[in-house]
Amino acid sequence: MPELPEVETVRRGLQPVMEGARFVRVEARRPDLRRPLPKDFVKRLEGRSVTGLGRRAKYLLADVSSGDVLLMHLGMSGSFRVAEDKGEKTPGDLHHPRSDDRTHDHIVFHMSSGARISFNDPRRFGLMLLVPRAELADHPLMKEIGPEPLGNEFDATLLAQACRGKKTSLKAALSDQKVVAGLGNIYVCEALHRARLSPRRMASTIASRTGAPNERAERLVDAIKAVLGDAIHAGGSSLRDHRRTDGELGYFQHHFRVYDREGAKCVTPGCKGTVRRIVQGGRSTFFCPVCQT
DNA sequence: CCGCGGGCCTGAGAGC
DNA sequence: TGCTCTCAGGCCCGCG
């Protein structure tokens, strides 16, 4: 599900109820996420407090007073919900499961802030790990990740450098977390449309042979920053059941220009094209074959 | 090194 | 109603 804007929206929702608060009680209701939870997961959290909540790529990183970092990933279907904590155990079997479904609430944090934070993940592609702070930068999940696209250091020079000599498609290159962090299927499609670049274009064509950026690289970086900024501003995208931590919907899905709009008229001014869907690397790509070259 | 296909899971929606 | 099929915002592994 979530890409950078959705994860950032989640981070902003969790920050007020996690930062400075203590884990009073932790429920690990289902330990078999994409990786099994550490066996001592609950013990290493209970009684400790969160000193900061950050984000790297699509990972949420909570600094814990024990010296661990709690690393959380939402996979395809993960979400967090914050509610007022009334202290009771999470019910396992409700009479009306559809209206208040706790079936996939795998982890629940009861915080000293009075918040009950539940992690819900039907498909269980999500992840929670505890990594000692000093080992985080070298952790296999972290160390290969490319630049943060909203950081100042991410520019056309850096992107062109990363794409230099790459025979793979721009779609595949931008989806690669080593090239740039945090993009997924939606925002790759959206950024390429804004930059008027074909998802099928060879990635190396945004750089000269020496790796210097050309005008396409400039457009692409601007488009990536713009679409991510707009999406964060809108509270991310809510497809299917994804919500913000307060249960409200993000609304960036209403601003999609190509994603899931197969057959619709291209919105680029003056363009008479129609949005097409193709498959690249087993995933849908949406683009306008007329203005995206 | 590279691209591709498959796998991990569950649920929603379409078509019959 | 219920079955079967496809598809879904991520990521990893193994193959050729």
Residue A224 in any domain: the answer is yes
pLDDT at A248: 87
- Is A275 within the bounds of a domain? yes
Number of domains in chain A: 2
Q: What is the pLDDT of residues A3-13, one digit of tens each?
A: 999 999 999 99
Q: Which nucleotides of B are covered by protein (CB under 7 A)?
A: 2-12
pLDDT at A99 > cutoff 70? no
For residue A38, the 8-state DSSP code is P
For the stretch A101-127, pLDDT in tens is: 688 999 999 999 999 999 999 999 999
Tell me the pLDDT tens digit for each residue of A176-189. Answer: 999 999 999 999 99
Reported confidence tier of residue A87, pLDDT bands at 50, 70, 90: low
Q: Which two tokens stand for residue A196?
A: 């008027």
Asked if residue A161 and residue A134 are part of one domain, the reply reads no
Percent of chain A with pLDDT over 90: 88
Task: Retrieve residue A222's tokens.
Answer: 């601007």
> Could you tell me if A92 and A191 lie in one domain?
no
A81, A107, A138 — which closes off a domain? A138
Examine the pLDDT at A95 and tell me if it is beyond 60. Answer: no
A272 touches strand B (CB under 7 A): no
Same structural domain, A112 and A213: no
Residue A263 scores a pLDDT above 60:
yes
Query: Structural domain of residue A182, as residue ranges?
Result: 156-287
* A109 and A23 within one domain: yes
In a domain, A43, yes or no: yes
- Separation CA A18–CA A118 (nearest Å): 12
Strand B within 7 A of A281 CB: yes
Within-domain flag for A166: yes
Q: Are A21 and A99 in the same domain?
A: yes
What single DSSP character describes residue A92? S
| A150, part of any domain | no
* A67 and A177 assigned to the same domain: no
The pLDDT value recorded for residue A89 is: 60
| Interface residues 174-233 of A with strand B (CB < 7 Å) | none
Q: What is the CATH number of the domain that holds A131?
A: 3.20.190.10
Residue A247 clears pLDDT 90, i.e. is over it: no
> Could you write out the DSSP letters of every residue in A154-177?
-SHHHHHHHHTT--SBHHHHHH-T
Does A35 contact strand B, using a CB cutoff of 7 Å? no
The pLDDT-based confidence of A68 (bands split at 50, 70, 90) is very high
Listed residues A138, A171, A192: the one ending a domain: A138
Direct distance between the N- and C-terminal alpha carbons of chain A, in angstroms, rounded to an integer: 28
**A36: Cβ under 7 Å from strand B?**
no
Q: How far is the CA of A97 from the C1' of C1 (A)?
A: 21
Of residues A240 and A25, more confidence is placed in A25
Rounded to the nearest 5°, which phi and psi values hold at A128?
A: -135, 130
Whether A242 CB is under 7 Å from strand C: yes
- To the nearest whole number, what is the mean pLDDT of chain A? 93
pLDDT on residue A100: 53
> Does residue A279 share a domain with residue A163?
yes
Q: Do the domain assignments include residue A103?
A: yes
Residues of A tagged active-site: 2-3, 58, 283
The model's confidence at residue A171, banded by pLDDT at 50, 70 and 90, is very high
A42 and A98 belong to one structural domain: yes
Q: Is the CB of A255 under 7 A from strand C?
A: no
Buried b (16+ CB within 10 A) or exposed e, A56-82: bbbbbbbbbebebbbbbbbbebbbbbb
For residues A60 and A127, membership in a common domain is answered with yes
Nucleotide nearest to A9 (CA to C1'): C9
List all nucleotides in chain C with at least one atom under 7 A from a protein Cβ: 7-12
Contact A70, A64 (CB under 8 A): yes
Instruction: Please report which confidence band the pLDDT of residue A93 belongs to, taking 50, 70 and 90 as the band edges.
Output: very low
CATH number at residue A282: 1.10.8.50
Nearest Cα to Cα of residue A285 among A203, A199, A194? A199
pLDDT greater than 50 at residue A224: yes
Q: Is residue A110 part of a domain?
A: yes
Is any atom of nucleic acid chain B found less than 7 Å from the CB of residue A238? no
Separation of CA A97 and C1' B8 in angstroms? 25
| Angstrom distance, A249 CA to C12 C1' | 31
The predicted-structure confidence for A172-223, as pLDDT tens digits, reads as follows 999 999 999 999 999 999 999 999 999 999 999 999 989 999 999 999 999 9
Give yes or no: residues A97 and A175 share one domain.
no
Are A171 and A124 within one domain?
A: no
Residue A86 located in a structural domain: yes
